[in-house]
Amino acid sequence: MIEGIRGLHHVTSLSSDAVRNNAFFTETLGLRRVKKTVNFDAPEVYHLYYGDEAGTPGSVMTYFPFPGIARGRPGTGEVGTTAFSVPADALEFWKKRLSGMGVDGLKEDESFGEKRLHFGGPDGDGFALVETGDDGRAPWTGEVGADHAIRGFHSAALRLRDDGATAELLRYMGYREIDAKDGVTRFGIEGGNGADFVDIETMPNIALADQGAGSVHHVAFAVKDRARQLEVRKALTDTGYQVTPVIDRDYFWSIYFRTPGGVLFEVATNEPGFDRDEERAHLGEALKLPTQHEHLRAFLEEHLQQITDRGTAW
Ligand code: ZN
């Protein structure tokens, strides 16, 4: 079994509009934008990161906003719902806030004994807030007070046609089956960073998703450092997974592999973090470019959509 996976690190999704995306995550959900950079492979597209004060692994939602791309078609082989953790009794506040701000798809239910509020992101992205009584993670309180603010991720729910091989993979990664109900199996990890759950929803008759705006591109799991990451990489390749070489993502190091159910997994390091090139007090303010794209700065500053932030919260 693989040692050292510490829960989720980040979730990366696709968006059709950087400005709307930024406003939704910073103003509506009250997360902090912790980095404004560009896609390594397509530098004319932003890579925006939102999370807690420091962008702590387990709190970071990231987006590639490709201007005007078509919406994805939901289906299997993808993350269906990304859930954030909020304090006990916070859902009433969120229901009022989100409905008052015109957010779509509000629906309350309960999952494994926890109260949950589903809502849609700006591109129809599948999100939920889950009331957890014992989440000790400190929230960012830019727009939403500490009594209600998001603590970080609670879980990611994978929608799969066939759950068997992916369940086996999660167990190999150190997850333990906690419960199963209504076609959903919950896995949890001991000693995680708070973003400790992965759900598998089995839907054998649903077609594979087509990715587009509102789709999750990949989900990343956290490891402490590069030494641990190399051990994880070896364990995965020894088991037959095709894993990419270690890639420098400036704020963490990454390896990627496609899971049997079709979802793209990443294993990312907690080092070096988002304050590598900006002071903690000013995270996310300046446009940061990967070194190899620095020569494009003048062009990018002129052509990237201008993101205007409200207020002085950051
Ligand atoms: Zn990633």
Give the tens place of pLDDT for each residue, 108-147.
999 999 999 999 999 999 999 999 988 999 999 989 999 9
Instruction: Give the pLDDT confidence score for residue 289 in this predicted structure.
Output: 98
Burial 10-29, CB ≥16 within 10 A → b, else e = bbbbbbbbbeebbbbbbbbb
Distance of CA 205 from the midpoint of ligand 1 (Å): 29
Q: What does the pLDDT average to over 200-204?
A: 96
The neighbour count for residue 101, using CB atoms within 10 Å, is: 12
Token pair of 290 as six digits: 């990967």
- For the chain, domains (ranges, CATH) are 8-313 (3.10.180.10)
Distance of CA 217 from the midpoint of ligand 1 (Å): 8
More confident residue, 234 or 312: 234
pTM for the structure as a whole? 0.97
Give the tens place of pLDDT for each residue, 39-71.
999 999 999 999 999 999 999 999 999 999 999
Q: Which of 84, 89, 83, 47 is nearest to 65 (CA)?
A: 47
Strand (E) or helix (H) holding 80: strand 78-86
Q: For residue 79, what pLDDT band results from cuts at 50, 70 and 90?
A: very high
Give the tens place of pLDDT for each residue, 1-23.
999 999 999 999 999 999 999 99
Distance of CA 294 from the midpoint of ligand 1 (Å): 21
Distance of CA 126 from the midpoint of ligand 1 (Å): 18
The pLDDT > 90 percentage for the chain reads 96
Q: If DSSP codes are grouped into helix, strand and coil, which group holds residue 256?
A: strand
Distance of CA 211 from the midpoint of ligand 1 (Å): 16
Instruction: Give the pLDDT confidence score for residue 311 in this predicted structure.
Output: 54
Q: Which residues are within 8 A (CB) of 48 and not within 5 positions of it... i.e. 6 or more apart?
A: 18, 21, 22, 25, 33, 35, 36, 62, 63, 65, 307
Distance of CA 3 from the midpoint of ligand 1 (Å): 20
Distance of CA 210 from the midpoint of ligand 1 (Å): 19
pLDDT at 313 over 80: no
Instruction: Give the pLDDT confidence score for residue 32 in this predicted structure.
Output: 97
Look at phi and psi of residue 61 and say left if phi exceeds 0, alpha if psi is from -120 to 50, else beta: beta
Instruction: Sheet with 78-86: list strands edge to edge.
Output: 107-111, 114-120, 126-131, 78-86, 152-160, 197-202, 184-189, 175-181
Distance of CA 219 from the midpoint of ligand 1 (Å): 7
pLDDT at 312 over 50: no
Distance of CA 256 from the midpoint of ligand 1 (Å): 8
Output the CA torsion sign for 287, 288, 294, 296.
negative
User: Are the C-beta atoms of 16 and 68 separated by less than 8 Å?
Assistant: yes
Distance of CA 41 from the midpoint of ligand 1 (Å): 13
Instruction: Give the pLDDT confidence score for residue 133 in this predicted structure.
Output: 86
Distance of CA 10 from the midpoint of ligand 1 (Å): 6
